[in-house]
Amino acid sequence: MLPRDERGEGNFSSMVGFVLLGFSDLPNFQGLLFGIFFLIYTFIIIGNGLIIVITRVDSDLQTPMYFFLANFSSLEICYVSVTVPRTLVSLWTQDRSISFLGCATQMCFFLILGATECFLLAVMAYDRYVAICDPLHYPLVMSQRVCVQLAVGSWVSGIPVQIGQTCQVFSLPFCGSNRVNHFFCDIPPMIKLACGDTSLNEMCVYIVAVLFAMIPFLWVLGSYIKIISTILKLPSTSSQFKAFSTCSSHLIVVILFFGPGTITYLRPKSNHSAGTDKMFSLFYIFLTPLSNPIIYSLRNKDVIAALKKLLPRKAGRGCQ
């Protein structure tokens, strides 16, 4: 366990740092977990990086849909990089200590990027809604300027609120154990370590979760209700299938992200367990970023065509 400052006990300022227990309850599987997480992390970086490259260099993909997809892939790379490298170091070295400032910084960036993902998924649903329900006005409504504004708004809107929430959590008195039963610094396990009354903090977590998760999710849900209603009115089965295929990839990612995330942050404190929190965290930290390049590569003919054009070009350069 990390030492405490001798200036005093029972005060958050006396906490030098924390210990992320992570998967220490599986001592015989540390090497296996490291290998699995490392491979997944590598695939996430390469897969999402490839999507960013092809959406930038292929002229056929210079559309709002792929502009937002490139933003989403960039976000996924940042999102996993906030938590996974630190987890890999812990698994490899068995050094699970993290400083007070390091823990607060990790949580802050994790929350900011999580809020960005919620907003960006809602924006992508709006893009599909306009494309399918109002195709004649699509170029005007989703102009380059509007797309940039929506993307920037998604990236920055959560910053002030999540910085405030992080400061609020780390202003709590941590006067007991400093052993965090998680593999990264998240709100539920940090609140569990706090002494005294944390009801205000829990209320703030619920409010922020509703604003940054439930409202975007309901927006996505409403968009897709209208989208499906419009698709069912299309005259031909082939048109319906094509419209469904352009939306299904995004919808799968939405379910994988919002489902576990909503359960984690909207459950009462009494229902939280370390094992369950870790399991749900694995979903939105690993599964969503991992599924993004797989879904958009295997289910998207435009992306596959762009990859086929890009790979021979790279191979040809390598032979010169």
What is the model's pLDDT at position 28?
Answer: 86
Provide the token pair at 35.
């290998």
Range scoring the smallest mean pLDDT among 111-115, 212-216, 296-300: 296-300
Q: Looking at the chain, how many residues does it have?
A: 320
Percent of the chain with pLDDT over 90: 38
Using the predicted structure, report yes or no on whether residue 35 has a pLDDT greater than 90: yes
Using the predicted structure, report yes or no on whether residue 63 has a pLDDT greater than 70: yes
Give the integer Cα–Cα distance in Å for 53 and 310.
Answer: 9
Using the predicted structure, report yes or no on whether residue 307 has a pLDDT greater than 80: no
Give the integer Cα–Cα distance in Å for 206 and 319.
Answer: 57
Give the integer Cα–Cα distance in Å for 169 and 225.
Answer: 37
DSSP track, 133-184: HSGGGHHHHT-HHHHHHHHHHHHHTTHHHHHHHHHHHHTS---S--EESSSS
* pTM to 2 decimal places: 0.85
What is the model's pLDDT at position 281?
Answer: 82
Domains observed in the chain: 13-319 (1.20.1070.10)
pLDDT tens for 190-213 read 888 888 788 888 888 889 888 888
Using the predicted structure, report yes or no on whether residue 2 has a pLDDT greater than 70: no
Left if phi > 0, otherwise alpha if psi is -120 to 50, otherwise beta: which for 54? Answer: alpha
- CA angle at residue 277 from 275 to 280, to 5 degrees? 110
